[in-house]
Amino acid sequence: MYRGQPGRYRERNGNHKPNAAVRRLAITRVRTRPQPASKAGTFVASGFALIFGIIAFSGLLVALGIATGLSFIAKMEAELPSVASFEQLDYSQPSVVYDRTGTVQLATFQDEFRRVVTYDDIPKVLLDATIATEDRTFWDNEGYDPEGTIAGIISTFTGYQDRGGSTITQQLVRARLLPDDVIAGDQFIRKIKEILQARNLTDAFPGEAGKERILTAYLNQIYYGHQAYGVAAAAQVYFGITDLKQLTPAQAALLAGMPQAPDSYDLYKWVPRDSDGNPILDQYGRMVVPTQSVNGEALPPPVVRRNFILTALAEGHGHFIRLTPDQLNEALNEPIILNPPAPFQFKAPQFVYYMKSQLDEILGDRQPVETGGYKIITTLDMNAQNLAEKYVGAGAILPNEPVDQMEADINSEGLQQDRKWIEALHGLDIHNGALVAMDARSGDIVAYVGSAGYYRDDLASAQFDPKYDVAGNAYRQPGSAWKPLVYTTGFDNHTITPGSLLMDVVTEFARGWFPRDADVKERGPVLMREALSYSLNIPTIRALDRIGVDNVATTAKNLGITFARGDNQLVDAGLAGAIGTAETNMVQLTSGYATIANGGVQNPPRTILRSLTPAATSCRSMVRARRTRS
């Protein structure tokens, strides 16, 4: 049964109102009683605090990141070389050797085939073709192109690339204005420094004039495949063109497309070949790269690249020109005909190589001849050289031919008046010869044949190497050619005179040694002048006995003549040295003769008149060694 709560006692006053003290206590309890917390408010407050904390922390990280990045960039910037070196930018260029007239080219020394051209030498169509494929923002960018960089990253993953990832300025910087350790180092660091340096170069050379210089340097520097460095060399290697203004738009587009993949776009690789690997020539004997698909086959990559660039020029991606539809159609259908330069053979090759040893010494620590682009004017007289080669061949090659062939060659080479002595050499087993002709007044070598038939590889044998330079590198017994030096020494020390009497009688000069004259005659007493004119052996030996071997050795040393087995070889040879048994060098001996002809004043052998740098200034005065009196 429900029971109600007992009633509470409520003390009332007479008027039935609550007691004032009780009321104050109740109010106080109500005011001081804890209020229940709001859960929504707590969550909002905490959220705002977290967000503000994250923002503050992120800002701190960003600030630290920016500071670190700027410090990192500044550090890399400080490590870069000055772009001021761009003012002195040079290129590896071939050096060309000429005869003494400067008109007959003898040889070319090169590590890279390159011809440097100026901006004005380059046609606008070639400039635009290069810009259209390598750097369409070139004329406006600050040396780098963010879109191009992104395109390069995308191409890394997709394999598709219709434009260069690096600007032209970046490519030039990478090739010439970054240290080797940066190129070989971390790729990310290299890329950042490449961009920084490209910006620096653009800032240092502003405006269109600066862009022209950068573009010209790029076109002279870049590799185009087939050993061609620079666009001028490429035009010559592929098309036989030396004047770039003669390039057609199609040819310009072909060249512009090559730097991206020079080995793949090498046109010679896309000439059809037979089963033996030989190029298949057209009806005119030319090498032609197919430009039309046959049986559904893919076009050669350089043709695809060419067509892409030509289309870009027609779409207005050039800076100077825009191909019309007719021009585009004509260029797309233009055949690709290759015109390789004819192989160049050195003229006077052994002289050229002998000269180079002197040139290397003259250049010293300058850029070597293979890359320096020098123009070298030598002492060689081509008329004298042609005669020298003709008669060395007549004496060493013709006599070894079958008689019928020898007679035919005597007639064809205009040697009819020399027929008698050439025929006399037939069958004597003489296979080589050498000749050095020198101007005694200056020491200039005007003719130099190091061996017979330098290019006659068919004559090579175990006994004869036609390419070996006997004149400059070999030591051979001079034989009777030594006798004038013996007599000259006697004149100098006054032990003999041209009128001295010498006995031409067989004598035992050493145990078992009875030398004889070449004609095996004995003439009795003869004058020294007769002994020399007849090249008599016995009187010369007697003369040396009077003069003294040591004195002749001193003369040889003063003349710069050396011997195969050292300075003492002539002394060790004793009296036998009178008839040229001590091996010496032909150029040195010729120089000794020239000194005699020049009244005892020696001019050391000289092969170079002057050498010019690419700027047509003398790289060094070609002053010969000090003249000495022997």
pLDDT in tens, 71-100: 656 666 667 888 887 877 788 888 999 999
Domain that residue 334 falls in: 105-338
Is residue 142 assigned to a domain? yes
Once rounded to an integer, what is the mean pLDDT over residues 340-359? 92
CATH of the domain at 576: 3.40.710.10
Is residue 134 assigned to a domain? yes
Tokens 């592929």 found at: 238
- Domain boundary, last residue among 312, 338, 364: 338
Could you tell me the pLDDT band of residue 55, with boundaries at 50, 70 and 90?
A: confident
Is residue 254 assigned to a domain? yes
Once rounded to an integer, what is the mean pLDDT over residues 181-189? 83
Is residue 209 assigned to a domain? yes
Tokens 């020294």 found at: 528
Res. 27: pLDDT tops 50: no
Alpha helices (H) in 296-440, listed in sequence order: 301-314, 325-332, 349-363, 369-372, 382-396, 403-412, 419-424
Is residue 241 assigned to a domain? yes
Res. 311: pLDDT tops 90: yes
Residue 11, pLDDT score: 47
Alpha helices (H) in 79-91, listed in sequence order: none
- Domain boundary, last residue among 314, 338, 362: 338
CATH of the domain at 183: 1.10.3810.10
pTM: 0.74
The structural domain count of the chain equals 2
Could you tell me the pLDDT band of residue 65, with boundaries at 50, 70 and 90?
A: low
Is residue 466 assigned to a domain? no
Res. 600: pLDDT tops 50: yes
- Domain boundary, last residue among 566, 584, 602: 584
Residue 96, pLDDT score: 94
Could you tell me the pLDDT band of residue 62, with boundaries at 50, 70 and 90?
A: low
Residue 463, pLDDT score: 79
Asked if 131 and 139 count as a contact pair (C-beta separation under 8 A), the reply is yes
3-state secondary structure of 391: helix
DSSP state at residue 46: H
Asked if 624 and 439 count as a contact pair (C-beta separation under 8 A), the reply is no
